[in-house]
Structure 1
Amino acid sequence: MASDYEDYCEIWAENAKSIEDEVRASVTFSLVFHVSFIHLPRDPAEDDDEEEDGVAEINNLTESAVEDRDIEVARDRLINEETCQETLEGILSSVRVPSRPLFVEKILSCARAMASDKAFEGYKVLRMHVRICAVVDDDDGDIEEVSESASVAEGASREAIERLEKVQIDEDRLRRQQCLCAICLQEFVVGLQVTRLPCSHIFHGDCVLNWLTKSKACPLCRSEL
């Protein structure tokens, strides 16, 4: 559906350092997400006058916001050419944001600028704020659930969760599949047992269990169990 509304993304660096940062073993980025969505209607002729908490009617559109989220990721994973795309897809998925070029390019641009800026030299935590307003079409499947106030999440059944396959990480799997859990953004290590969804994406067992109690869709591809 054509729309006069466009995705919006604003990013700014926060020049702040805390005593707790100094105990970090390695340099990390801390991305604070402020996310909202404009939902295009399924049918322009529909006119629903109902208004729910956290969802405001704007003509034939609805707008919703999710709770601010703070995501940490290793510095090298975010600025490395080989890992940045997968890493950002995982981060955006974890905050229920579609992985779109505008969002990816702006986050990467800010991260690389901060990593090379002498003003941040010696910082163990590089903090940035990411304000996103994503335009989503209810028919295009860009996003199924943005917040509990905007839609009611439906978790996977116990039977579906119990059927999930357990696999062990080996070097070959790391090379040809995921190298990190898209939910917690921690890297997999050889010998670790993980859980594989029917779509073949893998996650830490505890991470995906917590996820599936709230949603029956894969965090990465949105395939349902």
Structure 2
Amino acid sequence: MMPTNDEDRDSLQGDVTVLIPAAGQGLRLGGTLPKALRLLRGRTLLQHAVDRAAAAPSVSAIIVAAPPGWEEQVRQQLSWCPLVTVTTGAQNRQASVAKALALAPRADIVLVHDAARALTPPAIFEAVAAAIRSGADAAVPALAVTDTIKVVDAEGIVTATPQRENLRAIQTPQGCRADLLARAHAASFDVATDDAGLIERLGGRVKTVPGSHMAMKITHPADMEWAQHLLDTVGDANQGG
């Protein structure tokens, strides 16, 4: 982990709580361990994710929703970081986020981050938080889409081709004020994969900030190979932006 400069942290708001739902099994990634506990260059994806979240100077707390039955191991793996609290995750991401949020009753800005985006640089956390401080209802990192995207029906027939310049691939962390996230979760009756989408359903406006290719989502075995390549060629993403 990159050492955190306490003076830098104290000089900023320190108003950010990061929630990391990490209870997923990651069936597409293979193996017997939960996805967040898979190793990348000798450290778990969760450890990499916490490294980078903790290196963001505005972050004052990190709450991890761990895979059920793995809580103590996760606590031991993250014992170096005094910002971390570990709770038991739930059956789906949305419920895990709600459980983690309940442990942060005094939180101001909340960033929800996927452990699978283990190499997200600290600067992305800061950019999302800054957008919330500037008045955005919610904020997400985004990258321009380079592939042509097609909309298809149930039979695989193309029904539309959206204009590529208006499309963005959304990453995490996704941020908003804690009270707004709590209201969004309370108002949602179906399972969502995207916290910003819950804010949209309440009528909130979601601002995008520039994302990072280091914030790739690790889903398949090939993604692990690419993440290893990024670490080997780009270096420690703690330094990145």
Mark yes or no: TM-score above 0.5: no
Which protein has the larger Cα radius of gyration, Structure 1 or Structure 2? Answer: 1
Structure with the higher helix share, 1 or 2: 2
TM-score, with structure 2 as normaliser: 0.21
Structure with the higher strand share, 1 or 2: 1
TM-score, with structure 1 as normaliser: 0.22
